[in-house]
Amino acid sequence: MPQKQQKIHKLWGGNFSHLPPQHILDFASGSDVKGKKPYDERLIPYDIAVNQAHVKMLSKQQIISAQDARLLLKGLEEIKALYKQGKFTLSEGVEDVHTAIEVYLIKKYGVAVGGKVHTARSRNDQVATDMRLYLKDQTKVFIVELTQLIFALQQLKKKYACVKIPGFTHHRPAMVTTLGVVFGAWKEGVVRDKMRFKQWLTLYNKSPLGAGTGYGTSFPIDRKYTAKLLGFSGAEPNILDPITNRGETETAFVFTCALMMKHFSQIAQTLILWSMPQFGYISLPDGFCTGSSIMPHKKNPDVLEVIKAKAAILYGALQSLLAINSGNFIGYNRDTQWTKYLVMDAVDESFPGIKVLKELFGALSINEHVLVKACKEDDILITCAMEKEVQQTGQSLRAVKQRVEKALKI
């Protein structure tokens, strides 16, 4: 009888105690087999909210009738329901999310009513407000996840407070420290990352809605009212600033993400080296490694290497954002539309790394017996011995250091 064909989904893993979960595999594989939805689809719920606030303001200010406002708000609720059901999406025939929503309202109520939704407004202030709302939500989620990562690092700091490990400078053994100090250093970096996200919220929690093209409108709008409806702390004090500087909020956000990823990249490289057979300080769980398509013995730290790659992508995105925002003439410039794509990509590349590191830290194995031996090798105790002699004899540090160096030369 012919042998039953075995289904093969991966070209590696037979030597693993357990394979990585799907979200780890997705993290490591990037966009190899999964594509992206249109960028503006992320803005659909925010554009609906902005439209709702705008229509309510137009009615309050008697710019449109209460009846027209009721119809428009009803139509917007229909769009929201369709979106939640996955039935309101964007296609190539529609220019952007703003157009898609207005076209829906015009088809439903005719241009006489549906066409009023854009009264006293430009797509410039509309998308700027959408992006503020989107990034506010993203920032809050980043803060929640970073808080959990900080807690995980704090627990490791306490657990390994007295476990000694070689400290390195220039990739060479330097002095003995503790794992508690190392985990504590990593924690402090993440604490600052969390603070920067909070600072972003403080700086950019103002509504651009009502700025129009940057030069306002002749309609008697109420910008403070729409700002309040949308959950902002207030309206932008100057209407030209948020339009001319569209992209600054995105750049500031990506700067914060880039610094966070810099910390993650340093952590990743350290863990990679510590886990090498030549070091053996730690063991990486199988669930955070991948194998080789040809070498049966391999367990590669791909997840950590991917973190380093994603950090590099963030640095590039930040440089691109700075370049796009530089040298523009005052007022709106179409250049700044590309900041939307860069910041959304930055979210995709950086956010998953928080959860990955948190989970990895929870499953990390510390090989303490290896650390005990390593802390007695490679002259790593010489500096402490030198300092002890200085304290006991009262000699100058320089004199003792020169004598020790001569002895080492022999």
Instruction: List the catalytic residues.
Output: 170, 292
Q: How far is CA 230 from CA 5, 133, 208, 237, 336, in A?
A: 58, 8, 11, 16, 23
301 neighbors 271 (Cβ within 8 angstroms)? yes
The answer to whether 178 and 160 are in contact (CB under 8 A) is yes
Residue 173 β-bridge partners:
168
3-state secondary structure of 177: strand
Q: In sequence order, what are the residues at sequence separation of 6 or more whose Cβ sits closer than 8 angstroms to the Cβ of residue 275?
A: 281, 282, 283, 284, 301
What does the block give as tokens for 118? 């854009």
How far apart are the C-alpha atoms of 355 and 148, rounded to whole Å?
9
Report the alpha-carbon distance of residue 1 to residue 138 in Å, rounded.
57
Backbone torsions φ then ψ of 375, nearest 5 degrees:
-80, 0
Alpha-carbon gap, residue 284 to 266, rounded angstroms: 16
- Show the tokens assigned to 302: 């791909």
How far is 65 from 62, CA to CA, in rounded Å?
A: 6
Tell me which residue of 352, 351, 343, 315 sits closest to 131, measured CA to CA.
Answer: 343
CA 399 remoteness from chain centre: 50
What one-character-per-residue DSSP string does 199-216 give?
HHHHHH-EE-TT-TTTT-
Nearest 5°: CA angle at 69, between 63 and 75?
A: 140
- In one-letter notation, the amino acid at residue 216 is G
79, 67 in Cβ contact below 8 A? no
